[in-house]
Amino acid sequence: MPRITQQQLEAMLWGAANVLRGRTAGQDYKGYVLSLLFFKRLSDQWDHEADALVAQKEAERGKPFTEAQRKALIAQGGHRFTIPDGCHWGDVLKQATNIGEALDRALQGIQSANRELSGVFTARWNLPAPDGDGKLIGNEVVHELVQRFNDIPLSNAHVTADMLGRAYEYLIKMFADDAGAKAGEFFTPPEVVDCLVRILRPASDQTVYDPTCGSGGMLIHAHDYLKEQGEKPAMQIRYHGQEMVWTTFAIAKINSILHGMEADIRGGKSTITDPQHLNSDGSLRQFDVVLSNFPFSDEMWWLSEDARARAESQKAEEKATGKKKSGKKSAKASRDDFTDKFSRFVFGTPPAGYGDYAFIQHIIASLLPGGRAGVVCPQGVLFRGQPEIEEETGEFDEDGNPKIRRRKADDEYLIRKGLLDARLIDAVIALPLNVFYGAGVPACLFIIDKNRPKARRDKVLLVYAARHYRELSNKNQLRPQDVMRILVHYHAYGDAKKAAALVKEHSQRLRDEITREEHEEIERITAEFEEDANRLASLQADLAKEQKALAAATAAKTKMADLARFEATVARIEKAIERPKAKVAQRDERIAEQRKRAEEDRQAVVTAGKELVAMYADPAELAKHARVAEMSEIEENEHNLNIPRYVDTFEPEEPIDVREALKALDEAERQRAAADGELRRLLAEVGYAP
């Protein structure tokens, strides 16, 4: 079979995924589809490796092996992963009945034979239906899915690791679009990840860690960034991640393997209660770069995964019954019982109900002395909590003096103050609303640096990037020009001399990226409608042939009955053409829209670049978008980092042309008077006197 294109591969995979869509609960189908894809890849690549080994040895000896010799040679190994007897794709393909049972047996066999794959096959294909009648996923559905995947060649002979990795990412993105709000549990928009990676600029000799890695997107993006910089794949493990949800861990682990990454991803445990990346002495391991989009404002951050499941079950039961279980500890008491064995909470213990600073402090503790981190946070971390205050009670002592009550500082205030006093916060970037699936709260990028340049140790960059975005049907999206604004603001750090060079660097890169994505999307659309286009071309050829025959028959004065048959054939083909013709027209319309959007985006990048250069030449205008605040000012603001305190986020209303407004008012009054007169006339006609 010849090599297939990236877009053909994606279309085939998504078509296979749709077989299972709606047949399982919620988004469970993504786990089934992705594990089946990985199983097919393992089997196809195993065959490819075996064929390559045999071909090499036959070339060395100068003659072919017998079938027995071939099997003996293959049995010696030399494979990246082991596939035990009876656990190959071909073994499942032979099954006509009980295919789900055969799949479970094969996947568990592979998992047991490869320690690196432990926990990656979480889907169970042989589960009974809830009512006990048959299987959750019927044999005929599994059969259709297996047959669909069987038509997709997934070895290196047909698709490269880069192609397959990108196709896997495409599927995850499609699953995220389909999942809506639930997608936030496993997917961070790539535009946001791109901002973080390009802000931190990981180097080729550095380790990268994501403590809440979801489907692994941030680690993959860091890997792609290093490849873009010219780094060749390294054998040492450079990427590390942890994900509490087993099914999401499996997606991340498969993702890293398909991208050809050496990654240590661990699952099933809470990063806060059971961090899995430790040194030999049991201390927390540290990394050069940390990227994270942790669960916002986790209400039960101090609970292990098992305790969390019990607490959520109890909460659901109490909600259903309306009764609180006796003897249950309060949330605050449960938090107070938590002991941090890794000494991470040096700036304070986060409050119950808001786990954001638990993750942030874990991230700081996981950084090497010169390390830096980019973290997605809810904007509440910037201002929640207040310092110690004194307030009047409204009562007076015997001397007539007002009684004063002292209120302790809030936990989050103390933690934020500690981070600022330690000069760890390098920048805060406010993002547009609704750029994350399922997260309606305002979010920001929190940039942490343990080794900040001396010139900016007593400063914090604050960027208001919430104005610029593209509205989609279910969320908002950072456009290329919006990404450029964020990157220029961060790397310029208020320095006008740097801005022009940064604009030039990012403008060219982003325009090239827009063009590449334009071509990919057009090829994807073309692949989607390929069957319709081929059908249309075939029918048009048939129509031309029949029309020619009809013309010849007419010229030869053929009998009316024969002419009628020719005409009927032509009419039948013309009718058959209507559907594929409409589909191809739809394809062409979508391609035209894609080209128009790409050209608009390229031009928008150029325009935004000019605006940025002009902005950095005008301090008053720059102050509406980004500002480097001195620590003295932040201290005066009681360590509150709410960006509108420092950046002029006020949106002035468009000036009103008073003359035009008065004209419009006069016209509206004229139309009202005319309508009133017409109403009175109609009432008079039917006998109602005014």
Can you tell me the distance from the alpha carbon of 347 to that of 560, in angstroms, rounded to the nearest whole number? 96
pLDDT of residue 180: 64
pLDDT tens digits for 329-381? Answer: 554 457 778 889 999 999 999 998 899 999 999 999 999 999 999 999 999 99
Higher pLDDT, 330 or 403: 403
pLDDT of residue 398: 78
Which one, of 267, 294, 312, 408, lies nearest residue 354 by Cα? 294
Contacts 24+ apart (CB under 8 A), 612-621: 612/484, 612/485, 612/488, 612/499, 612/503, 613/499, 613/500, 613/503, 615/499, 616/492, 616/496, 616/499, 616/500, 617/496
pLDDT of residue 340: 92
pLDDT of residue 558: 72
pLDDT of residue 460: 97
Can you tell me the distance from the alpha carbon of 475 to that of 366, in angstroms, rounded to the nearest whole number? 32
Can you tell me the distance from the alpha carbon of 436 to that of 51, in angstroms, rounded to the nearest whole number? 45
Mean pLDDT calculated for residue range 226-240: 80
Mean pLDDT calculated for residue range 197-218: 94
DSSP 3-state of 501: helix
Q: Which of these ranges, 43-52, 187-196, 672-681, has the smallest mean pLDDT?
A: 672-681
Which one, of 35, 487, 12, 493, lies nearest residue 257 by Cα? 35
Mean pLDDT calculated for residue range 235-249: 87
Can you tell me the distance from the alpha carbon of 351 to that of 356, in angstroms, rounded to the nearest whole number? 9
Can you tell me the distance from the alpha carbon of 27 to that of 409, in angstroms, rounded to the nearest whole number? 43
Token pair for 257: 């393997």
For CA atoms 67, 73, 75, 77, the dihedral sign is: negative
pLDDT tens digits for 277-306? Answer: 999 999 999 999 999 999 998 888 998 888
Backbone dihedral angles phi then psi of residue 215, each to the nearest 5 degrees: -85, 10
pLDDT of residue 647: 94
Banded pLDDT at 399 (limits 50, 70, 90): confident
pLDDT of residue 632: 96
pLDDT tens digits for 507-531? Answer: 999 999 999 999 999 998 998 899 9
Domain 160-316+342-393+403-467+627-652 has CATH 3.40.50.150: yes
pLDDT of residue 436: 86
pLDDT of residue 407: 80
Q: Which fold has domain 1-159?
A: Ferritin (1.20.1260)
Task: List CB contacts of 523: < 8 A, sequence separation 6 or more.
Answer: 5, 6, 7
pLDDT tens digits for 88-139? Answer: 999 999 998 999 999 999 999 999 999 999 999 988 888 887 777 778 888 9
pLDDT of residue 514: 96
pLDDT of residue 494: 94
Can you tell me the distance from the alpha carbon of 378 to that of 49, in angstroms, rounded to the nearest whole number? 48
Banded pLDDT at 62 (limits 50, 70, 90): confident
Token pair for 640: 């509150």
Instruction: Identify whether the C-beta of residue 502 lies closer than 8 Å to the C-beta of residue 487.
Output: yes
Q: How high is the mean pLDDT of the chain?
A: 88
In this model, does residue 209 exceed pLDDT 80? yes
The CA-atom distances, in angstroms, between 294 and each of 181, 193, 491 are 15, 13, 25
Banded pLDDT at 67 (limits 50, 70, 90): confident
pLDDT tens digits for 550-591? Answer: 888 888 877 777 788 888 898 999 999 999 999 999 999 999
pLDDT of residue 111: 94
Taken as a whole, the chain contains a residue count of 690
Which one, of 132, 151, 110, lies nearest residue 19 by Cα? 151
pLDDT of residue 24: 62
**Max avg pLDDT among 298-302, 315-319, 603-607:** 603-607
Burial of 677 (0-12, 13-18, 19+ CB in 10 A): exposed
Percent of the chain with pLDDT over 90: 53
pLDDT of residue 1: 54
In this model, does residue 457 exceed pLDDT 90? yes
Higher pLDDT, 595 or 156: 595
Mean pLDDT calculated for residue range 489-516: 95
In this model, does residue 181 exceed pLDDT 70? no
Mean pLDDT calculated for residue range 406-431: 94
DSSP 3-state of 296: coil
What residues does 406 pair with on adjacent strands? 390
pLDDT of residue 503: 96
Task: List CB contacts of 158: < 8 A, sequence separation 6 or more.
Answer: 1, 2, 3, 4, 44
pLDDT of residue 184: 62
DSSP H stretches of helix in 259-393: 305-321, 331-336, 356-365
pLDDT of residue 377: 94
Banded pLDDT at 607 (limits 50, 70, 90): very high
pLDDT of residue 655: 64
Can you tell me the distance from the alpha carbon of 590 to that of 585, in angstroms, rounded to the nearest whole number? 9
pLDDT of residue 408: 86
Rounded to two decimals, the pTM is 0.85
Banded pLDDT at 596 (limits 50, 70, 90): very high
